[in-house]
């Protein structure tokens, strides 16, 4: 299996459970995960990442970034444009989700959990 970087965008409305779920698959598959925490619930995302590190996860395997609302679209666009980002787990607002949809059509970016952000379920492949 080829490893890559998974970009996880954590939601504010269920920050603990959805954050753990969004990063767990990437870690279990041996990938590096970059987690973008919600600006509304940053402390819980910090605590989750800290718990993984305290449990012995090596530095650099799980990374947390925080953004402010005005800067978020530009930062998200820059991150998902990076060639090592091959998978995005979306739990974001509609404007951020639309950026990811548009960017994924222009590249081979794989988008997961998109249906949750849009309020509908995607069919299983």
Domain 5-118 indexed as CATH 2.60.40.10: no
Q: What ranges do the domains of the chain cover?
A: 5-118
Residue with tokens 């954590």: 10
Question: For the segment 63-114, what is each residue's pLDDT rounded down to a tens digit?
Answer: 999 888 788 778 888 887 888 887 777 765 555 666 666 565 555 555 554 4
Give the residue with greater pLDDT, 36 vs 94.
Answer: 36
Q: Would you state the structure tokens that stand for residue 104, as one six-digit string?
A: 């994924």
Alpha carbon distance 86, 9 (integer Å): 14
Question: For the segment 46-64, what is each residue's pLDDT rounded down to a tens digit?
Answer: 999 999 999 999 999 999 9
Q: Is 55 exposed, middle or buried (0-12, 13-18, 19+ CB in 10 A)?
A: exposed
In terms of pTM, does the model score above 0.85? no
């Amino acid at each position: 299996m080829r490893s890559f970087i998974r970009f996880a965008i954590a939601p504010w409305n269920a920050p603990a459970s959805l954050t753990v779920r969004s990063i767990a698959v990437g870690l279990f598959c041996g990938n590096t995960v970059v987690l973008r925490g919600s600006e509304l619930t940053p402390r819980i995302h910090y605590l989750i990442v800290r718990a993984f590190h305290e449990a012995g996860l090596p530095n650099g395997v799980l990374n947390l970034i925080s953004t402010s609302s005005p800067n978020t679209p530009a930062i998200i666009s820059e991150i998902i444009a990076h060639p090592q980002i091959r998978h995005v787990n979306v739990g974001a607002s509609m404007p951020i989700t639309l950026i990811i949809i548009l960017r994924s059509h222009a590249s081979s970016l794989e988008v997961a959990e998109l249906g949750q952000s849009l309020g509908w379920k995607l069919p299983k492949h």
